[in-house]
Amino acid sequence: MSEIHSFGNLPIIAHSWNKDRTQIAVSLGKNDVRIYQKVASKWKLTHTLCEHLSRVLAIDWAPKTNQIVTASADYNAYVWTFENDIWKPQMVELQRTSRAVCCAKWSPEENKFAIGSSDKNVAVCYYEKDQRFWAAEMIKKKPKSTVTCIAWHPNNQLLAIGSCDYRCRIYSAFVKTVDEQARTSNWGKITNTGELLHEFQSESGWIHDVAFSPLGDNIAWVSHNSIIFAVTADNPSRITMEITSYLPFRCIIFMNESTIIVGGHEFSPLIYNYDQRNGTIDFLEKLDRQETSTGRQSIGRLFDQPAMQTQTPEPVSTHQSMITQIVPYQKENGNLKEIVIEAGQELRGDVDETLTVELRSGKAEIFGTELAIGQKYQFTSGMKFAIFTYWGCTVNIISPHEDYYVARDENPMHIYLNVHGMLEQLRQKAETEKTRGPRIMVTGLPDVGKSTVCRMLVNWAARLGRTPILVDLDVGQNQISIPGTIAAMVVRRPASVEEGFRIEMPLVFHYGYKTPGENIGLYNEIISSMAMYVNIRSENVEKSLISGVVVNTCGYIRQEGYESFKHVAKTFDVDIIIVLDSEWLSTKLTSDLPGVKVITLPKSGGVVPKDAAKDKFRENKIREYFYGPRNNICPHVFTIEFNEIKIYKIGAPQIPDSCLPAGMILKNPYNKILPIAASPALMHHVLAVSSSNDPEQLLAKNILGFVVVQQVDSEKRTLTLLSPQPNVKNKLLIVSDISFVDMK
Ligand SMILES: Nc1ncnc2c1ncn2[C@@H]1O[C@H](COP(=O)(O)OP(=O)(O)OP(=O)(O)O)[C@@H](O)[C@H]1O
Ligand SMILES: [Mg+2]
């Protein structure tokens, strides 16, 4: 969809929008800059900036500071500030510039701007507060021809320029007076202003425009011979280029890290995909999809036939002439913000769509996993996270929404870290005295951050080289396996920020429901089986014994739920119970479990209950199981005959006493193992593949994996299953109450 804004019949040489796009500054190739304002959906000329003596070639409107920089063929640049309804100009002190100033651009933080000129000068300009003028630091290692274009890196300290000597260069634009300290850069060490970091040689062809990707990892430029070039910071010696058959390009921007838009003499903007890994730039589509009436003219044909040189292509697109400039009108996906998080503070996110985080300096962690400097972490819709920093740090965030904030409230991270310190002391003691390390159980009401605290405690332990066993009894949001299970694993390294724990040889038991209350008897019974295995493991592996056990529980604390907590504490023989945010529960557990140390901790203000998010979490967890955390695994879909497998259900339905014959007492049916016939009622249900060959042992044995019923053909007596394996490893399957509809 396109919107057309018209400003007369003259070509627009340069334009720039104000912050909310209600105003636009345009140069129509004259000495002035015209500012139009949208009034009742019409553009009204409100100001004319007249100070230049020749054609205005570049305009850039800084959205936050509301200042405009203009550059002109009169060798000058001006900064315009809006005061009392008047745009006031101030000339920039460009020393030694005695040719046209062709380009000017504000840095992302708007505390400096850069200009490029026909006499090969590049200057980084900033405001000299004391002397109250715009000063310029000239770049010493100048290009060898006219500087045509400029792009700023998102870190505010690198500058890319393109010039008529067929080269694109990256310079340090660090200015001591305005930048407190040099920032980290993936393009090399940033030192003094004007230090040349990279020089990329193109094929012959003037470079008309250059752009950095939103995160600054990629750079691309276009040249007059219709070639698009791109380089990635990981491998700056490899220049990828795409020789196109289109008319010369004049401008280029990145939409995201890989999508490029170019425009120029072709009239229609063209979209390309830059695949940095494979080193390719592929045409995707024309932004303006209208077809040509006479067929496209290639640049080759134009130059072959001199008669056509003056002939312009037929206006077949929304644009009626050459595209001179592309500027993002509205950034939907690429709002990059640099945020400083003070020591002890937390930046919290609740992701609406997608969000990317990059640690730029300092140290920080997400739920106990350290962030690496310069690495990008991506979160998708529904995910919540908190970046905590003990020492202070700076992060870049890209998100189309303001779905994050720095929490100023007291956060309990220091208290949690103290608990970790205490546990580590107990581990050290166990190591010296050759005894058992601490066994902790984390409890509390629903949505107080129990699973998160467990994740942090095992992550911190793993960072010290410990290998604690994490037992997750949270059947609703299990961190180790899919919902409806209880699971345990040895944590050898911290969880991945985006994908959670790397699951190696987990021990998984089938339960089949998303809350313990659905069948509390069964829940307790499989907890006993799990505890037995965990006890054996920790007794046999010294490192596990010393590292201890962390048990996560469900927030189910009604009468039978509370009894279940006690059952967990006893079967796992826990030494310490952490109760989150409930004095009442702490008091009760202290009196009911003498000999166990009960600690009450506050919950974090970042934990906010969200039921819809839980459903999404469950669905994602099952999807991840089949398709991989990055959607990079292709599961199998196959058909199996009814008689090739045996399906069981655990737990008979509760029958009210009134329905039973008088005097009959039904034995507790919670752990009844009932064979069931395959039928359409199984559609979309998860089936757990048991490791047992004996139906009587289904409860006591762990699970090998899961399949989902995708189709039931009662006539052919077949089931179609979605499975990570090409077959079913064992013939005994247990049906779960949890279902998964594969929308792929
Ligand atoms: N400090 C924090 N800032 C922002 N979000 C957080 C923070 N701590 C936890 N969360 C998020 O809050 C949500 C609930 O936390 P968590 O799952 O740990 O609670 P829980 O007590 O285990 O819940 P349940 O009772 O359902 O088991 C999770 O999505 C988690 O990522
Ligand atoms: Mg939980």
Tokens linked to 565 = 């907590």
The mean pLDDT of the chain is 88
Tokens linked to 222 = 């276009």
d(CA 70, CA 79): 7
Q: Which of 350, 445, 451 to mutate to test the pocket of ligand 1 (most atoms within 8 A of CB)?
A: 451
Q: Which residue has the higher pLDDT, 644 or 381?
A: 644
Q: Which ligand is nearest to the CA of 446?
A: 1
Polymer length in residues for the chain? 744
d(CA 272, CA 289): 14
pLDDT of residue 661: 60
Phi, psi dihedrals of residue 720, rounded to the nearest 5°? -105, 125
Exposure b/e, 472-491, CB count within 10 A at least 16 = b: bbbbbbbbbbbbbbbbbbbb
pLDDT of residue 333: 45
Residue 96: other Cβ atoms inside 10 A: 10
Q: Report the DSSP beta bridge partners of residue 533.
A: none
Q: What is the dihedral of CA 318, 320, 322, 324, to 10 degrees?
A: -70
Helices 583-592 and 559-571, packing angle to 10 deg? 50
Q: What is the pLDDT of residues 204-256, one digit of tens each?
A: 789 999 999 988 999 999 999 999 999 999 899 999 999 999 999 999 999 88
Question: Is residue 160's pLDDT more than 90?
Answer: yes
Q: Report the DSSP beta bridge partners of residue 264.
A: 249
What is the residue whose two structure tokens read 């038991």? 509
Tokens linked to 542 = 């010294």
Tokens linked to 248 = 């010369």
Question: Is residue 299's pLDDT more than 90?
Answer: no
Which atom of ligand 1 is the closest one to the Cα of 580? 21
**Residue 459 confidence class, pLDDT cut points 50, 70, 90:** very high
Check if the beta carbon of residue 243 is closer than 8 Å to that of residue 197: no
State mean pLDDT over 258-270. Answer: 89
At position 323, the amino acid (one-letter code) is I
Question: Is residue 506's pLDDT more than 50?
Answer: yes
3-state secondary structure 242-270: EECCCCCEEEEEECCCCEEEEEECCCCCE
pLDDT of residue 653: 62
User: Could you tell me the end-to-end alpha-carbon distance of the chain, in angstroms, rounded to an integer?
Assistant: 28
Per DSSP (E only), the strands in 602-663 are 636-641, 646-650
Which helix (H) or strand (E) element contains residue 406? Answer: strand 404-407
Check if the beta carbon of residue 138 is closer than 8 Å to that of residue 343: no
Q: Which of 369, 384, 556 to mutate to test the pocket of ligand 1 (most atoms within 8 A of CB)?
A: 384
The answer, yes or no, to whether any atom of ligand 1 lies below 6 A from the CB of 163, is no
State mean pLDDT over 459-485. Answer: 95
For ligand 1, atom 2, the nearest C-alpha belongs to: 606
State mean pLDDT over 47-63. Answer: 94
State mean pLDDT over 95-103. Answer: 87
Percent of the chain whose pLDDT exceeds 70: 93
Phi, psi dihedrals of residue 471, rounded to the nearest 5°? -110, 120
Q: How far is the CA of 368 from the centre of ligand 1 (A)?
A: 13
Helices (H) and strands (E) in the chain, counts: 8, 47
Tokens linked to 254 = 């990145």
Check if the beta carbon of residue 209 is closer than 8 Å to that of residue 227: no
Q: What is the pLDDT of residues 583-609, one digit of tens each?
A: 999 999 999 999 999 999 999 999 987
SS3 call for 295: coil
d(CA 413, CA 347): 12
- Which domains are delineated in the chain? 202-330 (2.130.10.10), 336-407 (2.60.120.1030), 433-615 (3.40.50.300), 635-739 (2.40.30.330)
Question: Is residue 298's pLDDT more than 70?
Answer: no
DSSP state of 696: G
Q: How far is the CA of 473 from the centre of ligand 2 (A)?
A: 9
pLDDT of residue 659: 60
Which helix (H) or strand (E) element contains residue 354? Answer: strand 354-362
pLDDT of residue 307: 37
Residue 493: other Cβ atoms inside 10 A: 14
SS3 call for 463: helix
| Residue 451: partners with Cβ closer than 8 Å, 6 or more residues away | 472, 474, 477, 479, 552
Q: Kindly report whether the global pTM for this prediction surpasses the value 0.85.
A: no
d(CA 307, CA 302): 8
Question: Is residue 50's pLDDT more than 90?
Answer: yes
Question: Is residue 296's pLDDT more than 50?
Answer: no
**Residue 301 confidence class, pLDDT cut points 50, 70, 90:** very low
Tokens linked to 122 = 């590049």
Q: Which residue has the higher pLDDT, 42 or 740?
A: 740
Q: How far is the CA of 476 from the centre of ligand 2 (A)?
A: 7
DSSP 525-559: HHHHHHHHHHHHHHHH-HHHHHH-EEEE--S--SH
Which atom of ligand 1 is the closest one to the Cα of 613? 29
**Residue 92 confidence class, pLDDT cut points 50, 70, 90:** very high
Q: What is the pLDDT of residues 169-192, one digit of tens each?
A: 999 999 988 898 888 788 988 888
Residue 438: other Cβ atoms inside 10 A: 24
Phi, psi dihedrals of residue 532, rounded to the nearest 5°? -60, -45
**Residue 502 confidence class, pLDDT cut points 50, 70, 90:** confident
The answer, yes or no, to whether any atom of ligand 1 lies below 6 A from the CB of 651, is no
pLDDT of residue 326: 85
d(CA 278, CA 276): 6
Percent of the chain whose pLDDT exceeds 90: 63
pLDDT of residue 295: 40
Which helix (H) or strand (E) element contains residue 591? Answer: helix 583-592
d(CA 459, CA 493): 7
508 among annotated binding-site residues: no
Q: Which residue has the higher pLDDT, 95 or 638?
A: 638
The answer, yes or no, to whether any atom of ligand 1 lies below 6 A from the CB of 618, is no
State mean pLDDT over 260-270. Answer: 89
Q: Which residue has the higher pLDDT, 693 or 320?
A: 693
Q: Report the DSSP beta bridge partners of residue 184.
A: none
State mean pLDDT over 151-178. Answer: 93
Residue 387: other Cβ atoms inside 10 A: 25
Q: Among 321, 703, 309, which residue's Cα sits nearest to residue 488? A: 703
DSSP state of 657: G
State mean pLDDT over 103-109. Answer: 94
Half-sphere exposure of 722 (CA within 13 A, CB side): 23
At position 627, the amino acid (one-letter code) is Y
Q: Report the DSSP beta bridge partners of residue 70.
A: 59, 78
Q: How far is the CA of 98 from the centre of ligand 2 (A)?
A: 68
At position 469, the amino acid (one-letter code) is I
Q: Order of strands, edge to edge, in the sheet holding 718-723?
A: 636-641, 718-723, 703-713, 685-690, 732-739, 646-650, 673-676
State mean pLDDT over 158-164. Answer: 94
657 among annotated binding-site residues: no
Q: How far is the CA of 701 from the centre of ligand 2 (A)?
A: 24
Question: Is residue 310's pLDDT more than 70?
Answer: no
451 among annotated binding-site residues: yes
Residue 448: other Cβ atoms inside 10 A: 22
**Residue 290 confidence class, pLDDT cut points 50, 70, 90:** low
Tokens linked to 457 = 């405690």
Which atom of ligand 1 is the closest one to the Cα of 604? 1
State mean pLDDT over 274-283. Answer: 90
